[in-house]
Amino acid sequence: MTSEQALKKYFGYDHFRPMQKDIIEHILQKKDCIVLMPTGGGKSICYQIPAIISEGTCIVVSPLIALMKDQVEALKRNQVPADFINSSQTSAEISTIESRLINGQLKLLYVSPEKLVTQDFQRMIQNCNISFFAIDEAHCISGWGHDFRPEYTQLSLLKRFYPDKSIVALTATADILTRQDISQQLLLENPPIFVSSFDRPNIKLIINQGIDRIKKITQYLKLKQGQSGIIYCLSRASTESIAQKLCDLGFRAEAYHAKLDSKVRSGVQERFLKDETQIICATIAFGMGIDKPNVRFVIHYNLPRNIESYYQEIGRAGRDGLESDALLFYSFGDVITWTEMIKNPDNSPNNEQIELKLKKLERLQQFTEAQICRRRILLSYFNEDLGKDCGNCDVCLSPRQTFDGTLLAQKALSAHIRMKNEKNELASMNVLVDVLRGSHNQYITAKKLNEIKTFGAGKDISGTDWRDYIIQMLNLGVFEIAYNQNYALRPGFIHNAILQNKKNITLAKVNYVNVEKRKEAISKPKSKTELLEDDLLDALKKYRKELAEKENIAPHLIFGDATLVDMTKKRPLHPNDFKDVSGVSDIKVEKYARGFVKEIIRICLEHYRNGFSTLKGATYLATLDFYQQGITAPDMIAKKRSEQEPKELSSSTIESHLIVLYERGYKIDRNLYISEDELKEVIQFFAKNPNLTLMEGYEKLNGRIKYFKMRWGQTEFLKLNKQN
């Protein structure tokens, strides 16, 4: 079996994505390599295809129990012999799987790094036929990476114990230092590094100020119409409080973090996979590690710890290639929190690691505060040049207008200096905003800050806007953070020039997620085709959910959303056409085609009979529908007329439809339209005159046999010829 044949048979795709074929060919040549490919970019297929068509078993090292389970379940449903071993299983279950491995009954076995390096496991696989090793999440082996795991460092034993077995190391996030470290730690000798584009153009990147987060999230979720998403939070407590707030507002949300009982976590995860829970609120540190392709949005309620983490976490959205969003709320308070956590780690501090983490945090801060294309910054971090603005981030979609902000800077500086000189108050950003806004809250009045001359000097600007402008002033050097004084503000290196009118500054006007534009896009009148596709997608999702509930599996294991979308575009009207849909494997054609085709026909007929008269193929479906009701061709004309079909058809057209439907494989009883004797005569005629057209044959017989009977006979003749 070739790699292309395996791709179609087991995964339902006709073509490889860029670079997949090269990687697969390299692995099949039993050579080591490192693969960098974004989440959702098709990393798994790069080792699954070689494993399927090679002799022996591929050992896949993965740190994520949930991901192991999901991938193995998907492989099994496509009839690929695969399994996993992890801490969630009983000793009896593990023993059964090990027996299958020893007996050569598995193509892929997923194990944790801890399990792989045990002496018992090593002794066992030394007697097995191992095809090669695949190490997923390979960045975990490197101290330079963003998610270092000490247990990964023991994987160097693979090259020492199995020098003739190739190793493929895969990751979605690794800078140049991390790539080099992966190679060194695994004892690979100058392996080729396959670097796919890190660009995920289907994910819209949005950065928003961390103000009124729940309100903004609620507005956003109302636009998502029940779609699945993840909200990443900084603490376990916040996952629970945010999930509860969303539930109170009518959303199906649950918390997910490391302190939950393992059974509770499994239940949350299963409900999310089955689309029973819409939103998961998860800790940034713990993550999710699940294989759910239809996550439509990822929201960072808090700032992640670095660009690698951000990239990996947003990568859980839109793995099926459909449009998705990544929304990050940024506040300087999160920067302070992360700085404290980095400087005061739970384990023994390593100055080099602390410095590295602080630098990475600083790069992320620069990314969130930038006023140029987000995607260009993100990709440049991974040494990739996009070459142009992406057109799908908040900066590109709503370029911020600028204005002369010198006067605002002078007001802010003046208020800050007076607070320090007159009241000995080294103010935080929030206190400064309250003074500028003229707020008479308890703190302001207790400190008598309402008595300074500049109190209320900026009351014409909202507090939200003032915070945005002060953050910009921080970036420009008007202010700076006093890290040794509880992170209060202090005048920056250009403050004197600003106050003395020797320097002007330019600020960007405040801009948020453009909800109104989204509303306009939603309310724009849709074409008949778009309305049909929307209804089809809803019907197919509903039918998929019914099937998934019967089989007690996640809906995407039947078909992913991208496959359903392709069905709405191609609209296969017979099981024979179903294999042309992207993502439909041979086994799934056999198992699911008839049911999904029935739904497609039902919705298409509804739209045709409700005025979509130009819908391609609909008149054939209407004829088929009447035929299946037991209505013969002569009676169909009256039936169509009485039910006000969009198109009135002649008897000859209806007969033509029936012949075409028969040719396509539908069960049409031809004996209703041509006798066995007539059929035999026409078949024999075309057997003697195979080069004649239908009309030529009809004329040669002088019309003795009716034209449509001739066509029935020719259809059967061609069918018999094809079989022979």
Decide if 661 contacts 618 (C-beta within 8 A): no
Same domain? 15 vs 123: yes
Q: How many CA atoms lie within 13 A of 289 on its CB side?
A: 19
Same domain? 294 vs 379: yes
Same domain? 50 vs 77: yes
Q: How far is CA 433 from CA 417, 427, 444, 457, in A?
A: 14, 9, 11, 10
The predicted model gives 489-518 an average pLDDT of 78
Amino acid 724: pLDDT: 62
Same domain? 406 vs 393: no
Amino acid 133: pLDDT: 96
CATH number of the domain residue 383 falls in: 3.40.50.300
Of 456, 491, 508, which residue constitutes the final position of a domain?
A: 508
- Within-domain flag for 634: no
Same domain? 170 vs 308: no
CA of residue 652 relative to chain centroid, distance:
49
Q: How confident is the model at residue 401 (pLDDT cuts 50, 70, 90)?
A: confident
Amino acid 383: pLDDT: 74
Nearest to 683 by CA among 724, 637, 660, 715: 715
- Within-domain flag for 684: yes
User: Has residue 390 got a pLDDT over 50?
Assistant: yes
Question: Which token pair is 513?
Answer: 């997620």
Amino acid 285: pLDDT: 55
The angle formed by the CA atoms of residues 629, 631 and 632, to the nearest 5 degrees, is 140
Question: Which token pair is 491?
Answer: 């005048």
Give CA–CA dist 46/17, Å, rounded: 10
Decide if 290 contacts 67 (C-beta within 8 A): yes
Amino acid 646: pLDDT: 60
Of 508, 536, 559, which residue constitutes the final position of a domain?
A: 508
Task: Report DSSP state, residue 616.
Answer: T
Quick check: helix, strand or coil at residue 630? coil
Amino acid 514: pLDDT: 47
Nearest to 70 by CA among 421, 438, 557, 428: 557
Lowest mean pLDDT among 110-124, 431-445, 654-668: 654-668
Decide if 206 contacts 393 (C-beta within 8 A): yes
Residues in contact with 677: Cβ distance below 8 Å, sequence separation at least 6, in sequence order: none
Same domain? 218 vs 271: yes
- Within-domain flag for 210: yes
Decide if 209 contacts 470 (C-beta within 8 A): no
- Within-domain flag for 520: no
User: Has residue 457 got a pLDDT over 90?
Assistant: yes
Amino acid 521: pLDDT: 45
Domain count of the fold of the chain: 4
The predicted model gives 370-375 an average pLDDT of 83
The rounded mean pLDDT for the chain is 87
Give CA–CA dist 157/153, Å, rounded: 9
Amino acid 310: pLDDT: 92
CA dihedral 202, 208, 214, 218 (to 10 degrees): -40
Top-ranked range on mean pLDDT: pick from 103-107, 428-432, 605-609:
103-107
H/E run at residue 480 = strand 479-482
Greater model confidence, 635 or 577: 577
Amino acid 641: pLDDT: 54
Q: How confident is the model at residue 67 (pLDDT cuts 50, 70, 90)?
A: confident
Same domain? 346 vs 254: yes
- Within-domain flag for 552: no
Lowest mean pLDDT among 14-23, 194-203, 458-467, 663-672: 663-672
Amino acid 353: pLDDT: 79
Q: How confident is the model at residue 523 (pLDDT cuts 50, 70, 90)?
A: low
Q: What is the amino acid identity at position 265?
A: R
Q: How confident is the model at residue 388 (pLDDT cuts 50, 70, 90)?
A: confident
H/E run at residue 168 = strand 167-171
Amino acid 48: pLDDT: 97
The predicted model gives 148-167 an average pLDDT of 88
Same domain? 277 vs 290: yes
Greater model confidence, 595 or 425: 595
The predicted model gives 126-142 an average pLDDT of 91
The predicted model gives 297-318 an average pLDDT of 91
Same domain? 377 vs 307: yes
Residues in contact with 552: Cβ distance below 8 Å, sequence separation at least 6, in sequence order: none
Task: Report DSSP state, residue 399.
Answer: P
Q: How far is CA 177 from CA 61, 168, 275, 379, 722, in A?
A: 22, 18, 39, 16, 60
Amino acid 349: pLDDT: 63
Decide if 133 contacts 166 (C-beta within 8 A): yes
Same domain? 377 vs 428: no
- Within-domain flag for 635: no
Same domain? 110 vs 226: no
- Within-domain flag for 50: yes
- Within-domain flag for 180: yes
**What residues make up the domain containing 473?**
402-508
User: Has residue 342 got a pLDDT over 80?
Assistant: yes
Of 164, 195, 226, which residue constitutes the final position of a domain?
A: 195
Greater model confidence, 640 or 227: 227
Q: What is the amino acid identity at position 441?
A: N
Same domain? 140 vs 102: yes
Interval 612-657: pLDDT, tens: 777 787 788 888 888 888 776 666 666 655 555 665 667 778 888 8
